[in-house]
Amino acid sequence: AQPGGKSESIPPPHRFDQDSLERYLGSRLPGFPRQPAGTLAVRQYSSGQSNPTFYLQKGGQAFVLRKKPHGPLLPRAHKVDREYRVQKALFSAGFPVPEPLLYCSDVSIIGTEFYVMQHVQGRIFRDISLPEVGPAERSALYLAMIETLALLHSFDLQSLGLQGYGRGPGYCKRQVSTWKKQYDAAAHTDIPAMNKLAEWLANNLPPDDSEESLIHGDFRIDNIIFHPTQARVLAVLDWELSTTGHPLADLAYTTQFYFWPASIKGLGQGSILETPSFEELVSTYCRCRRISTTLSNFNFFLALSYFKMAGIAQGVYARYLIGNASAENSHEFAKVVKPLAERGLELSKSSTQHSTSGELFHQSRKGQEILLKVKQFMKQHIYPAEKEIIKYYTECRNSEDRWKKPPLLERLKELAKAEGLWNLFLPDVSGLSQLDYAQIAEETGRCVFAPEVFNCHAPDTGNMEVLHMYGTEEQKKEWLEPLLEGKISSCFCMTEPDVASSDATNMQCTIEREGNSYVINGKKWWSSGAGNPNCKVAIVMGKTKNSSASRYKQHSMIIVPMDTPGLKLIRPLSVFGYMDEIHGGHFEIHFNDVRVPVSNIILGEGRGFEIAQGRLGPGRIHHCMRSLGAAEAALEILCQRAAQRQTFGKKLYQHEVVAHWIAECRLSIEQARLLTLQTARKIDMLGNRRARKEVAMTKVVVPRAVLKVIDCAVQVCGGAGVSQDFPLAFMFAYIRTLRLADGPDEVHLSTIARWELLDQSKKLTAKI
């Protein structure tokens, strides 16, 4: 690794007396060529902002010099003597660092303290996506890097002779308070996420904060010299921030780029690696250190890493404001503080602490507690109520009360609310990650009306997400609050009878501005839940034509109270003959000169598609999560029936074909669940946008798998399976609609193919 510049390019503040250095090295550094005098070539490395580093060459020999910067320095920073000490200890222990050759505290030689080390010839990768190599080599290089980190953390401080190198136990606590102080000193505007993150970190310090290993503090791929042709680490550089502390802080820092917010680009870490995966890196680290793959509190360390990055970004911007920043793009750093802090907060809530293999989909402690409570609630209240509630819907079918909710259901809602099992789908309210919620939603999906008991049912969940994300304060107060309290319900009106609505740009319903109102005209159908007398509000999507805008900026969403004159429920639509009273029916609704105030528009004219993307965010796989519960219930019915009934002298399950169905059903459920959990995890870690392919895959795979299980169950149950005595027929009808209602399979398949082709082309480019 050699610097690109020439000696003349050393900027004035870093220049020093080269003759004096040459004389000194000639007398003190064994093997340093003495003759001919005046031929020492010195060039400065451009990377690294902290301790200036120089490439020295004389008589065919190369060395590297690292020195303190000139001028006044912070008391604890730029300690080159510490760098020298730690490198010396590590080199003696066989760890890959450049061999430190000489330390000089005499400031008369070049103006500051410095040390000289061996020059290591090899490769340094400045771009973390390693565009120079193919996926297999990239994977090998990253794994070599992580093995080296594990080796570093395996050393005993005493055997290295580094007792007292750090500041003792309490590293995490110190880090939180240091970065908080630095951030506060540099803050130029109030960023609530940063304050919340600081508070969360301070309140959630890991219980093993006394753990002390030697840590690097800035362990990144561009601080590593690799072998010129092999995936082997020759040297780890830049030990300025090394200290003793919790090793997971290093691991989180090294892997943090996997979670980098998509909104931040151009600051060196915008690209995300597919190979190796985060899991591969972490499991390799754990294997090398012989520690459990359950990295408890890893979310704390990731959140801390983001807090630190946000603090650093704020500091760079503060220095820019006073005209003292070295980086050219330092003015851009102000923009990244908020997204970094927000990502830190998200990570604090996520379940990434359990990161590998068997523990891959481990829930957070809160998630586990709530799941347990939901399971108990289901046993204690929901299953015993099933018969009565289904009977109510059956008996009211031909009466005026047809669309009303059974009183028992309302009582169950009150009970669930009192137990805090309420609005679990919304992370900002429940504090649960998608991974946490996936397992809870599956449990509630075992009974068709249970999601409503916990206020976690469609379409209210999607509508609440829209209002939560995009609503004004007034809109939230008027509609979101009563929805969250379960006092009212809602419907969503997008699909139209006269056009193919899977391409939503076909939509014809108009939303036209007239003075202080919008006037809505058009026909909608499949508005689920509109029959419920408690359905008080619709979110309607229509065209607010702007002929100059793109096809995707012509539509808007607007809030329409259900009692607005001109809004008329035309008829309920049946689903395979069911009127689906349990879900409030699916209605055709006409809008004739329906007038609402302009303040009812959500986010603004032309923003409908943007909202639709958000609405179909995490909520997009909630149906899938729930339907896995239905599959489990169906398989239970199948097995019970197969064990009860007998044909041709054998129990049904003793016929091999039935046994194989049972096995196939279990395979399908497990595969579908793994994909669902993987998608939930990816949403938690990387956000909806980066999980688009997985979301689409889940929406195709899960309904197919669940339908297969229900179909087998129907077959094993015989005639009973399609009758009203078993829930299977309704389950089948309901789950079959998911292959349309959440967007037809074909549309998802096209999305998956598009992303797959894109991913493949990236791989190809990397190979070239």
Q: Can you give the binding site for ligand FAD, defined by CB under 6 A? A: 459, 492-495, 500-502, 526-528, 575, 586, 737, 740-741, 743-744, 746-747, 750
CB of 728 to ligand FAD, least distance (A): 18
CB of 456 to ligand FAD, least distance (A): 16
Specify whether the backbone of 280 is left (phi greater than 0), alpha (psi in -120 to 50) or beta. Answer: alpha
Q: Pick between residue 43 and residue 586 the one whose CB is nearest to ligand FAD.
A: 586
State which amino acid sits at residue 294.
T
Q: Pick between residue 505 and residue 644 the one whose CB is nearest to ligand FAD.
A: 505
CB of 715 to ligand FAD, least distance (A): 24
State which H helix or E strand residue 387 sits in. Answer: helix 383-396
Q: Pick between residue 586 and residue 607 the one whose CB is nearest to ligand FAD.
A: 586
Is 496:523 a contact under the CB 8 Å cutoff?
yes
Q: Pick between residue 679 and residue 737 the one whose CB is nearest to ligand FAD.
A: 737
CB of 522 to ligand FAD, least distance (A): 12
Is 562:489 a contact under the CB 8 Å cutoff?
no
Closest CA to 341 of 189, 447, 525: 189
CB of 743 to ligand FAD, least distance (A): 6
State which amino acid sits at residue 651.
K
C-alpha distances out from residue 544 to 153, 488, 496, 547, 607, Å: 60, 28, 16, 9, 10
Q: Pick between residue 489 and residue 495 the one whose CB is nearest to ligand FAD.
A: 495
Is 475:602 a contact under the CB 8 Å cutoff?
yes
The rounded Cα 742 to chain-centroid distance in angstroms is: 22
Is 114:65 a contact under the CB 8 Å cutoff?
yes
CA dist., res. 186 & res. 175, Å (int): 16
Tokens of 53: 């580093």
Phi then psi for 751, rounded to 5 degrees?
-60, -45
Is 734:580 a contact under the CB 8 Å cutoff?
yes
CB of 606 to ligand FAD, least distance (A): 19
CB of 736 to ligand FAD, least distance (A): 9
CA dist., res. 81 & res. 105, Å (int): 8
CB of 573 to ligand FAD, least distance (A): 8
State which amino acid sits at residue 333.
F
CB of 740 to ligand FAD, least distance (A): 5
* DSSP calls for 219-285: --GGGEEEPSSSS-EEEE---TT-EEE-HHHHHHHHHGGGG--TT--SSS------SS-HHHHHHHH
Q: Pick between residue 396 and residue 741 the one whose CB is nearest to ligand FAD.
A: 741
Rounded to 10 deg, the angle between the 298-321 and 171-186 helix axes is 30
Determine how many CB atoms are found less than 10 A away from the CB of residue 27.
9
Q: Pick between residue 147 and residue 588 the one whose CB is nearest to ligand FAD.
A: 588
Q: Pick between residue 636 and residue 746 the one whose CB is nearest to ligand FAD.
A: 746
Q: Pick between residue 375 and residue 739 the one whose CB is nearest to ligand FAD.
A: 739
Q: Pick between residue 185 and residue 740 the one whose CB is nearest to ligand FAD.
A: 740
∠ CA 595-599-600, rounded to 5°: 60
Q: Pick between residue 96 and residue 608 the one whose CB is nearest to ligand FAD.
A: 608
SS3 303: helix
Q: Pick between residue 53 and residue 600 the one whose CB is nearest to ligand FAD.
A: 600
CB of 64 to ligand FAD, least distance (A): 59
CB of 527 to ligand FAD, least distance (A): 5
Long-range contacts of 389-395, Cβ-Cβ distance < 8 Å, separation of 24 or more: 389/449, 390/727, 393/581, 393/582, 394/724
Tokens of 135: 């996926």
Q: Pick between residue 435 and residue 511 the one whose CB is nearest to ligand FAD.
A: 511
State which amino acid sits at residue 13.
P
CA dist., res. 504 & res. 293, Å (int): 45
State which amino acid sits at residue 629.
G
Is 500:506 a contact under the CB 8 Å cutoff?
yes
Q: End-to-end CA distance of the chain, in Å?
A: 23
